[in-house]
Structure 1
Amino acid sequence: MANIKAVAARAGVSTTTVSHVINQTRFVSDATRERVFAAMRDLNYAPSLVARSLKVKETNSIGMLVTTSSNPFFAEVVRGVERYCFEQGYNLMLGNTEGQAETALSYLTMMLRKRVDGLLIMCSEGQQEVFNQLDWLKTLPVVVMDWGMESKDVDLIADNSWHGGYLATRHLLALGHTAIGCITGPHRRAPASQRQAGFLQAMQEAGITVNALWIQEGDFDCASGFAAMARLLAQPVRPTALFVCNDMMAMGAISAAHQAGLVIPRDLSIVGYDNVALAEFMSPPLTTINQPKEELGRLAVTRLLARINGEQVANNMITVEPDLMIRQSTAPYLGRRIPQ
């Protein structure tokens, strides 16, 4: 098998020059560089990435920590991150925490030992104590996506959840609905509380008092959306429209409504959040707030690479604006109420 000495002999240069060409650590003339590359091709020589990483202290790899979830939103964001990493010549090392602090700690320790150049983190705030245990993390570029650890030393890329909740509610109000409920995400998570705040602001501006019984907390999964809808259907007076704080809970809510004999949107209009790929194929297709997931991933990688390269940035927070996708799960209020 060819080695660096054979490449140097073939190109008529020193092994030091070959090393500088490979690692781009010193100026080498175009003619000499081309001779080295030609020799490498002729000898089918591939430089050791491990050896290079030890020399230049870079591995061209990025770690990403994400909470495993049935929510395809995460998979769609990861796909965007992976695509952009590939375009930039970086490998992505992915760790699914499954919501467990011990698993998160294990993955983080492994990624740091493998000398990743930076970290992307997209998992619940409940993991904050895990990050506090790792002093190494303080010297590594870190970008948080959607929600996660909070620190002045890391960058945050997130959608404007308040505005998304506001847009969803304004859409229902514009259709003539005033009896509007909300299935929220878990209040401990910032996006959930922000989306609910946007809902409440829109209702307040419309001069409508929200029925506290029509605000039900879920956990961002289908089962909690189903259970929240069941609680709403048990109320003596029911809403004619719902803002549901993510698409997975909206799917569960629609299933519960269907089993109760309701027709969407004739009996109940529903707006979701995220615009996952499945949303447009639901029955009926789901009106939802679109999070630009590809853009979220691209911005996160771009900011992380800027930090890795030592670039100065103006601030440590980037907000991505959501927009409304109108489909067939919402309709004008025509004086109907959910059957009692």
Structure 2
Amino acid sequence: MATMKDIAKLAGVSTSTVSHVINQTRFVSEEISLRVNNAAKALNYYAPSALARSLKVNRTNTIGMLVTTSTNPFFGEVVKGVERNCYQQGYNLILCNTEGDNARMRDSINTLMQKRVDGFILMCSSLEGERIDVFERYPDVPVVVMDWGPMLFTKDKIQDNSLLGGYLATQHLIDNGHTNIGCITGPLIKYQAQMRYEGYKRAMLEKGLEFNADWIVESDFECEGGYHAFKTMSDRGRLPSAIFVSNDMMAMGMINAASELGIQVPEDLSIIGYDDVHIAKFMTPSLTTIHQPKYRLGEAAVDTLLRKLNHQSDQPEVVQLEPTLVVRKSVRNITDIETSEYANKK
């Protein structure tokens, strides 16, 4: 009966590489995997089934991920980072959409538990402030929570620095000469929406700029929400010269509403978004925004979960990734214009 050592000799690789290919415990290049599999086939080697292997080591090499369904491509870009890193680490990913429904979320968790997933990645805004009893019944199953705020159970967390992101966005508008600056926030019951709004307020306060309540509208992080938020702001009267919109999807809806009202971006109104989703650079005008490292968020979630599975970390971790400014075409610099107008008046 052939052994892994026999396969390694025929394929010209190490025994550990053969083990990784057959057991799918680590990413191995396609070329080497093909050599190993061909050697195994030639030697009539039969690998143990995944079920038998999982019973022996009490691992299924499977991760469950729960995501709130949304039209926002932000979620898809994060999932891509999760899926790619799972593949490279030799893990399978089972993805469940919760539709924002807590009952469906709990049912999905129970189903994944029955499938004996090794751990969970949660990206569900509905979790905020929730206690999930099922995780308390399985304290040894590691859970990583992505991007959302305080919860009633202690788990590892991956997030972006939304306070800094909101500050950078507003500071960029100020640096371009804007002093009348509005803000369309996400739902302020959500931690990330709160932090982006706090960043906006901090930048305004540092420069001694006044807040106009008519220029602050709370919305829902969706295109339709941005559209209606801008219509609401417009109905209140005079508009600011610039608006920080707390995510790119709302910014897109807002630009559509502005166009319907005959308002041009950035000639009449400057806009900065948040997230830097892939399509933001293909808008007209291309959207100046705050870049969230979405792919890295996904990678970091998997890395953190695997550290727990491999007992490399005992205490809950908070991994924070830093946002950066991406300058495109939706913000107009009005400093030179105001200086020119002042010179002409003199």
TM class by smaller structure: 0.7 to 0.9
Residue 45 of structure 1, CA deviation: 1.6
Residue 130 of structure 1, CA deviation: 6.2
Residue correspondence of structure 1 range 252-331 to structure 2 within 5 A? 252-312=253-313, 316-331=317-332
Matched residue, 2:157: 156
1:83-132 deviation line (CA, Å, top 9, x unaligned): 01100000011011010011101110111111111110001144654623
2:196 maps to 1:195: yes
Distance 1:55 1:165, change over 3 A: same
Q: Is the 8 A contact 2:159 2:320 kept in 1?
A: yes
- The number of aligned residues is 308
> Which amino acid is the alignment partner of residue 328 of structure 2?
R
Residue 149 of structure 1, CA deviation: 6.6
> Which amino acid is the alignment partner of residue 192 of structure 2?
P
2:243 maps to 1:249: no
Distance 1:41 1:215, change over 3 A: farther
Residue 236 of structure 1, CA deviation: 2.0
Q: Is the 8 A contact 2:131 2:152 kept in 1?
A: no
Distance 1:126 1:89, change over 3 A: closer
Residue 46 of structure 1, CA deviation: 3.1
Matched residue, 1:103: 104
Q: Is the 8 A contact 1:53 1:59 kept in 2?
A: yes
Q: Aligned partners of 2:249 and 2:42: how far apart in 1? A: 51
Show structure 1 runs of 5+ residues with no match.
1-5, 12-20, 24-36, 336-340
Q: Is the 8 A contact 1:125 1:149 kept in 2?
A: no
Q: Aligned partners of 2:162 and 2:103: how far apart in 1? A: 29
> Which amino acid is the alignment partner of residue 274 of structure 2?
Y
Q: Is the 8 A contact 1:63 1:111 kept in 2?
A: yes
Q: Is the 8 A contact 1:101 1:127 kept in 2?
A: no
Q: Aligned partners of 2:54 and 2:106: how far apart in 1? A: 24
Distance 1:298 1:285, change over 3 A: same
Identity rate, percent: 49
Distance 1:111 1:315, change over 3 A: closer
Q: Aligned partners of 1:228 and 1:48: how far apart in 2? A: 55
Secondary structure in structure 2 of the residue aligned to 1:274: coil
Residue 39 of structure 1, CA deviation: 6.4
1:25-70 deviation line (CA, Å, top 9, x unaligned): xxxxxxxxxxxx9667521523200111011100011111110100
Q: RMSD across aligned C-alpha pairs, in angstroms?
A: 2.3
> Which amino acid is the alignment partner of residue 191 of structure 1?
Q
Secondary structure in structure 2 of the residue aligned to 1:182: strand
Q: Aligned partners of 1:69 and 1:232: how far apart in 2? A: 25
Residue 318 of structure 1, CA deviation: 1.1
Q: Is the 8 A contact 1:162 1:195 kept in 2?
A: yes
Matched residue, 1:47: 48
Secondary structure in structure 2 of the residue aligned to 1:226: helix
Matched residue, 1:81: 82
Matched residue, 1:220: 221
Residue 150 of structure 1, CA deviation: 2.3
Q: Aligned partners of 2:205 and 2:144: how far apart in 1? A: 35
Q: Is the 8 A contact 2:101 2:126 kept in 1?
A: no
Matched residue, 2:139: 138
TM-score computed with the length of structure 2 as normaliser: 0.84
Secondary structure in structure 2 of the residue aligned to 1:273: coil
> Which amino acid is the alignment partner of residue 181 of structure 1?
G
Secondary structure in structure 2 of the residue aligned to 1:243: strand
